[in-house]
Amino acid sequence: MSLHVPSMGWRPVQGVPCLRPMSAGIGSSNQNVTHNSSLYKKPFEESFEETPLLVAVLTYMGYGILTIFGYLRDFLRHWSIEKCQVAREKEEQKDFVPLYQDFENFYTRNLYMRIRDNWNRPICSVPGAKMDLVESVSHDFNWTFEHTGRVVKDVINMGSYNYLGFAENNGACADAAIEATEKYGVGVASSRCEMGNLDIHEELERLVARFLGVESSMAFGMGFATNSMNIPALTGKGCLILSDELNHASLVLGARLAGSTIRVFKHNNMQSLEKLLRDAIAHGQPRTHRPWKKILIVVEGIYSMEGSIVRLPEVVALKKRYKAYLYLDEAHSIGALGPNGRGVVDYFGLDPKDVDIMMGTFTKSFGAAGGYIGGKKELIDYLRCHSHSALYAISMSPPVAQQIISSMKSIMGEDGTTLGADRLRQLSENTTYFRRKLREMGFIIYGNDDSPVVPMMLYMPAKIGAFGREMLKRNIGTVVVGFPATPIIESRARFCVSAAHTREMLDTALEATDEVGDLLQLKYSRREQPLPSLGWMAEESLLQD
């Protein structure tokens, strides 16, 4: 039996039964509906409209043309007709084992470089609802950039994970962080197990445990390392990890470092997950057929490229049926989902005790940095002694810890105000409004209607860069994503809605998106759109006539 290890934190999702009908292929659409409705307290639907056939063909042709011209330019570079600016071995090292894999860099130097100006733009303000960008220009086709000295002011930020708007430099949270800086300083200069364990860290962990509804919790200074360094402490050889095909790279890296057997199930597909569970129990380990020491199911709350929400009630039911463990990454869902902002567990009204390992980050909804793991006290005590992130990493910065404490108390309503509840409600309203308007305009939108991550499909490679540039011309900052971070024909723009966005900001962004969509012909959706409302005055006039 072969070892199935995912190569990246993403996978193409064509052909997944619960998302797209396998027999339909390109050119059809499907509404993802609940398989086991008895486990859900409210309707759970996610839409993934299929790529139109003509668009798919043109997209493949576009990548084909770019590839042909890429090989032509490589030929010209080889004969020094065109200047080569890529990293490569020196002439005197040509007989050595190559340090740079030429073929692996093909995409970077011939496709990515053409649209590189859409990323890595310097920001010179708080990345809140609006931000200021340093203008950059390139005179060598995006290989290098120069700052012009001009600052682009008040760009509407539709790309940051600032879901609740706590990324700000004023207000109660910022004031508390300043006080913590004056009291503790900025850095700790030691790990938690040596001289870096402060009272503010222990206060944070008690608060996180209470917020999640679990026995205990542990905070870490880096969100990525929370996954990549703790999964190896929980599983090892003789263990089986069942990973969603769209899991984040930090989860994939953690699973690889653990040395466990990894098997990947189709995204949010409970039939695929159950089949793997049945096979694992029936056949056991490869060659020896001994029972697995441990089976760990690894999923995310909100998948940041698809805008989809995990089918947690069904995952929990399978986990209980087959006696497996569940690792839930709530990086994007904590603070952004649920009536109380407690993430996907709160969203579905489940018991936190049904999730064995609850992981999340403070980098998004809380406007800070770092991550956490919550669960039973025995689990946390074990990680304090065995987690590489706990033993070798520097402690979380005190002002960062205070930022998390202040924002979390605000969400919980323990600051004496309704600010947290108001932001949760505003985020929900903004998400619903923004998604509905984009669909009405005729764009193909992926994901769940309650997800603040809103992927809008672009498809063709030339439109990736064009969309980002045209939106910036209209003072809208967006994130555009293409292959290999997505399947080759599913390039997209990814909007992130925030509670800090006013209705005026959203309307401005929607107007610009509508204009650019017409300019670039991005309105691919073939769904029947509802007739536009005439408004109460027009309707009353018609009734009088």
Kindly tell me if the per-residue pLDDT of 13 is higher than 50.
no
CA–CA distance from 160 to each of 133, 163, 470, 478, 500 (Å)?
A: 14, 8, 19, 9, 11
Task: With residue 156 as reference, give the H or E element that holds it.
Answer: strand 146-157
User: What is the rounded average pLDDT of the residues 490-502?
Assistant: 97
Alpha-helical regions (H) of 123-191? 172-184
Contact 407, 173 (CB under 8 A): yes
Helix axes 199-212, 398-412, angle to 10 degrees: 30
User: What is the rounded average pLDDT of the residues 329-353?
Assistant: 96
CA–CA distance from 501 to each of 156, 159, 165, 245, 361 (Å)?
A: 9, 12, 8, 32, 22
User: What is the rounded average pLDDT of the residues 459-464?
Assistant: 94
Residue (of 181, 111, 223, 150) closest to 465 by Cα position: 111
- 444, amino acid identity: I
Kindly tell me if the per-residue pLDDT of 103 is higher than 90.
no
- Local structure of residue 112 (DSSP, 8 states): G
Could you identify the residue written with the tokens 């706590």?
166
Could you identify the residue written with the tokens 């304090």?
384
- The gap between the terminal CA atoms of the chain, to the nearest Å, is 75
Contact 207, 214 (CB under 8 A): no
Task: Provide the b/e sequence for 130-159 (b: ≥16 CB within 10 Å).
Answer: bbebbebeeeeebeebeeeeeebeebbbbb
In this prediction, residue 399 carries a pLDDT of 97
In this prediction, residue 7 carries a pLDDT of 33
In this prediction, residue 12 carries a pLDDT of 35
User: pLDDT band at 102, cuts 50/70/90?
Assistant: low
Contact 130, 154 (CB under 8 A): yes
Percent of the chain with pLDDT over 70: 89
Kindly tell me if the per-residue pLDDT of 17 is higher than 70.
no
User: pLDDT band at 531, cuts 50/70/90?
Assistant: low
Contact 77, 83 (CB under 8 A): yes
User: pLDDT band at 536, cuts 50/70/90?
Assistant: very low
- The neighbour count for residue 171, using CB atoms within 10 Å, is 14
pTM (2 decimals)?
0.88
Percent of the chain with pLDDT over 90: 76
What is the distance between the alpha carbons of residues 299 and 312, in angstroms, rounded to a whole number? 9
Kindly tell me if the per-residue pLDDT of 246 is higher than 90.
yes
Kindly tell me if the per-residue pLDDT of 363 is higher than 50.
yes
Sign of torsion, CA 55 56 57 61? positive
370-387: pLDDT as tens digits: 999 999 999 999 999 999
What is the distance between the alpha carbons of residues 10 and 485, in angstroms, rounded to a whole number? 7
422-451: pLDDT as tens digits: 999 999 999 999 999 999 999 999 999 999
DSSP character string of 90-146: -GGGTTSPPSS-TTTTHHHHHTGGGGGGGS---B-S--SSEEEEEEEE-SSTTSS-E
What is the distance between the alpha carbons of residues 459 and 482, in angstroms, rounded to a whole number? 8
User: pLDDT band at 104, cuts 50/70/90?
Assistant: low
* Dihedrals phi, psi of 539, to nearest 5 degrees: -65, -40
Q: What is the mean pLDDT of the chain?
A: 89
- Local structure of residue 337 (DSSP, 8 states): S
189-215: pLDDT as tens digits: 999 988 999 999 999 999 999 999 999
- The neighbour count for residue 163, using CB atoms within 10 Å, is 31
Alpha-helical regions (H) of 105-222? 106-110, 172-184, 199-212
262-313: pLDDT as tens digits: 999 999 999 999 999 999 999 999 999 999 999 999 999 999 999 999 999 9
User: What is the rounded average pLDDT of the residues 467-477?
Assistant: 97
How many residues can be counted in the chain? 545
